[in-house]
Amino acid sequence: MGSRRLRAGPAAWFLSALLALMLAAAGAARAADEAARLAPEAVVLENGLTLVVVANPNMPAVAHYVFYKAGSIDEPRGKSGIAHFLEHLMFKGTPSVPDAAFSRVIASNGGRDNAFTSYDFTGYYQFVPADKLPLAMEMEADRMANLSFSEAQVESERRVILEERFSRTDNNPSAQLREQTRAALFLNHPYRLPVIGWEHEMRGLSYADARAFYQRWYAPNNAIVVVGGRVTMAEAKPLAERTYGRIPARPLPDRDVVQEPTRVAETRIELASDKVRQPYVNRAYVAPSLFSGDARHAYPLEVLAVVMGSGVSSRLNRALVLEGSLAVSAGTSYDSNQRGPATFNLFATPRQDVPVPAVEAAIGAEVERVLAKGVTQAEVDRAIRRVQDAAVYARDSLSGPARIVGSALAIGLPLAEVDAWPERIGKVTVAEVEAAARAVFRPENLATSILLPKRPQGS
């Protein structure tokens, strides 16, 4: 069946790739941007399924994605991990496709497939030759409507996800620290729960739990199908209508919107382990997203993240790596495209024999410098140019355009808003970046996490 990779929310590359593609799609002034236009087309089938085509005739194949607008954020209380568990069970077959045969059929037709679970959505994809797109659509539509799994398969697959948790989290101090940090950073929101689930709750997940989640959320009117590469809408729409279009829509439940309470205290977490060879420092701030909190700060925070921590000339890299010789690497991450609140992270890996407090203080000094002296127009301009330049590389990816557009739509971002990204980013001002920094870089919004080697007793 192949490996099923857990995706705990959109990765750091998502921000730069999304911004780059949106800037390219809007056609910036340069010829390179014109050549990188995505020009996605979208239609809604009669049963409510959204079909998007991102055509690129230069690609030798097609990428076929199905996004369900349901992730770990939608799990019932006490059932953490059920969204990811169902992702695994989706490969158990249907009456017409035997257990674990899905991936074998795709591979035998020259393709590959996989799936991922995030906080906000779940995705399934195949990369196949263009003439095999009908097969991929037929098989995905089949398991959208006719998934079949047994109690025995549930028990077997539970052992798989428990082993996944052990190998990727419980046996990995960095992953443990990230998990503990999110649990401390978010006081009430489901983002505080791990996508893979807490072990004790994973052990109790049942056949009924998985079947209920499937029937609750896996409906065509809660799905987005995105096809990219060597395909046109004229080709894809009849295929989608013949496969997905036959599945009747179902009533969808109302989503609970969980709000975070106001934080009043800074949080600090330290984890020491004999498995750690190199320390790590991270400052995570609760921040607005496009869908949560003061959304007017979202676009300026995208720019601030590049100014402070993306590239050789970024502030953290200059202060900690190039000039200060305190760290081997340093950077930032921020993603405004989330249904709930976002996080703004500043992080560094200290050089050998450099005290962790020195690195932590240096990161704090850069935060204070932004608050006290702001950013320059040159930095803002450079950050936007950096995003524009990335568009040239992003356009040539088979999977990137389809995945990025689908991820944005899956969290509720309209296609028109996706197209408006470059305009929004291009209008960000120095004053707006500085206001966003003041709104986010507050002690009560902060969770500092430190990863340390465990020293032998008595040393």
Q: Report angle CA 237, 243, 244 to the nearest 5 degrees.
A: 80
Chain center to CA of 190: 15
Q: How many CB atoms lie within 10 A of CB 250?
A: 15
Q: CB–CB of 225/245 below 8 Å? A: no
Q: Within 10 A of 7 (CB to CB), how many other CB atoms are there? A: 20
Contact 61, 229 (CB under 8 A): yes
Q: Among this protein's residues, is 87 annotated catalytic?
A: yes
DSSP string, 351-410: PTT--HHHHHHHHHHHHHHHHHH---HHHHHHHHHHHHHHHHHHTT-SSHHHHHHHHHHH
Residues 312, 310: Cα–Cα separation, whole Å: 7
Instruction: List Cβ neighbours of 151 (8 Å cut-off, separation of 6 or more).
Output: 207
- Alpha carbon distance 391, 217 (integer Å): 34
Task: Find the catalytic residue in 34, 41, 46, 87.
Answer: 87
**Token couple for 109:** 């037709």
**Burial of 431 (C-beta count, 10 Å sphere; 0-12/13-18/19+):** exposed
Ramachandran quadrant class, 296 (left: phi over 0; alpha: psi -120 to 50; beta: rest)? alpha
What are the catalytic residues? 87
